[in-house]
A and B are shown apart, each in its own frame.
Chain A
């Protein structure tokens, strides 16, 4: 049983919550751009939150289910349909054998997640299913999905319970999700080198809008807008960087490091996007604009904790539904 890829879409990859523990060996974390959406999709079908799922980018794939399947779609609304009929997102959906999942136009957001009950039956590489495209490892044969691929799914021994999902119209409280609006305001804390920037630049980073350029990808978002400069040129010693680090190369155009970011870098780090807003940032479509709003480290961590609490609530609610 599994998923037959009829059309691959723009960029469809297998991702999970990332390959952790190997950055010191130069191996990037990868994983879902929007880990919140990936975790919700998994929870909705009764999986552990960190299971592998498909990350679907803007132009979605066509997928045939070779078996009855419980699925959930989350993240960006790319107008999903099953056998031509529009299908609800953010809830468990029972799909009959030989049904075809397709996507029409992107309505909101950039990246959609497809989870299947039981998870995908693929080998882990270094403890993770995430696709690391540049090194050709993880995911499905280390690459983006292509037409003709067959992605095996684990048998789900809870088929009976799965049926009850399909019969209920249950959907979790939308209040629990991040608010994916276009041209969002992204909250950030000051980066380690914030104070090295000129007075003008350190004001402009909060007041100006920046356009996410078309060159943006899973590695990083290149921002167009005002150029930012250090008060005086300074050579930095390379050190670790992370998902959401906003670094500024000498020519002045900021880059936000995303899920496939390098492990270390030497450019001054003006901001760090807070973890709770990374899902919103992950859903920004190239061409849209963003602005930054300052929060303190303490606020950032409280927002993160609240998001985790929402996931715990959701996991409990799913558990209750399953056992109802």
Chain B
């Protein structure tokens, strides 16, 4: 009955009263949605809203506790990947599930390697079949190349190609439904555009696309309808053309919030200043000595002579495309790249760059790009995750842990950063993505932070948590910390930064301040050298 507002007739897939519980979290609570043939249907919601879970229930990766999934009148066996596959449902994963050490062709034919004489693999036939699948979407991919050598975008395209294979085992339907689970999280801007194009083409061919994402721009660019979930509950299904961004945000969080373009920053208790709306600019002591200075940072094949300075209270944005050397620059500053040459000065004093420890001692904190891979310890408790870098400084003599002091620090941090965890001993996996990110930021942001290096600090987290993180970054800046912010989200970069340097090919292409800071200028600089000469 909640389909009234955007009903359709050619229903293919129906989810009826789906509920799913993980431990104490009710991931899905009596959710019913219908999907039509030939539509791109977005599932939206904050992290932990249940959108990924619903996608996984549909494709049989998760077994629902209650409810049914029906495709073309046939009820699917709950939690059976095989049954879903046979019914024509495919999933394109958030984490790419492929064998990077095998060739593209082998990956595509892995379920049914063509055999020749003596049971040997018929390489020619395999390559030909793979090429037929892949080149339909992206002709430039070499199917004999090792999959791991491809860009993330091309790897994703290979995965989509594999899901479209119609030479499948007997008894199985061709693909009718494809679930995309956060498909663009590791893609660059141009790769994302190409992917959205592919998605639209697939829908035109009559496939049902279930598009799980929280990127607004993608929803508006390629989806027909959007279903919003909140805290595991169904909120609404609407036609995308009838919706605006604020409408969707309101559905997702149940209240209206400020978008990141409205910059709210109150340095020293001054009135809020809104950039671009003629408001007073946030005051940074123009004459102040730089807090952080980077001189001539180079690393073979990654960076070439990057220099910049950041004053206390200043947010320096680093723009550029994926692969332009932004994360590599932060790694080099934090002494994680042994081949990097160059100088890092804090308050005018050069810092020993033999290991990250001396930088941590100097008050530098680094929130890396990938919190699962580079950030959190999933076997350690929430509290140990926070104190990990300076447990030794809190400790008694001989490295005996000061549990009371650790607890005090952690309790303060968790309160300040509003990390929602059942207890200090919870494991990071029990937290939502947004809270995991806050946990990681809480590790590095403290009263003594002199410099914060933030690499995509709001990647993969929901709107509400993003706003909180923006506030925390401002707070740190107001305390006099120098902040270096890497972000692929243009509005975020523009709104948060006082100045922006743009990188391409490991070089600093230019610096933008004040009115020069526009999306067009950033993209122009970012693509200037990146294009083949």
Q: Note whether A and B form a binding pair.
A: no
Q: Which A residues fall within an 8 A CB radius of B?
A: none
